[in-house]
Amino acid sequence: MTGLGSNDSLSQRTFEEGLSALGGRDPCLRAVLDAVGPPPFWVRDPGFPTLVHIILEQQVSLASAKAAFERLQQVVPELTPVEFLKLDAPTLKRAGFSGQKAGYCTNLARALTDGSLELERLQVADVRCVRSKLLKIKGIGQWTVDVYLLMALRRPDIWPTGDLALAASAQVLKGLDSRPTPDQLDAIGESWKPWRSVAARILWHHYLSGMPILEV
């Protein structure tokens, strides 16, 4: 470990360090790395557009969310909170927003325009503060915050226990009879501290590869 703290950001170098540490520690993760190679260092730019995209991904396929986000970008090439608030309900519906998700993104945009939320400050805030600030916005739950912390703020030890793809991958890798609950997934992730964000990318990579693998 290089002294990377839970509030620091992963870099390509520390990401690779995490892969090495996890591969040496856990035979299941090593089996994935050996079979399909290391995962991409998936990252997203911090800010309002990324949070809108993550909200769109709530409980739908990544492809569906991506298509809706791209349609939104065609309407508003420079996606800012002010520009988003100019859009009416029919426009958002045509882009692929449900009424509920349109409301969630409106709540976020209003918080940013009235100054009650400042995303720039979250980039250097500790994990607890980031959670506290974002969870105050109706429509932003624990999973959304986890993905933002992991992908956009690149914190090294985030573990989205509500993520269905992670649960499906963990079920296969750990030979479980059923998909683990969030509490069970939390327990599985304990041994992967302080690199759970890296472990999450390995499990997502396993899931996207079509899964099975396993003989360890």
Which residues of the chain does CATH 1.10.340.30 include? 48-152
Alpha helices, H only, 114-191 = 119-122, 127-135, 142-147, 164-173, 182-189
Whole-model pTM? 0.93
Which residues of the chain does CATH 1.10.1670.40 include? 12-42+158-208
User: What class has domain 12-42+158-208?
Assistant: mainly alpha
Residue type, 104: Y
In the chain, what percentage of residues exceed pLDDT 90?
Answer: 91
pLDDT of residue 154: 97
Q: Give the gyration radius of the chain's Cα atoms.
A: 18
- What is the tens place of the pLDDT at every residue in 166-179? 999 999 999 999 99
Cβ 203 vs Cβ 165: under 8 Å: yes
- The dotted CATH code for 48-152 is 1.10.340.30
pLDDT of residue 7: 81
Residue type, 66: K
30 has pLDDT over 50: yes
- Per DSSP (E only), the strands in the chain are none
Residue 3: band (very low, low, confident or very high) from pLDDT cuts 50, 70, 90:
low
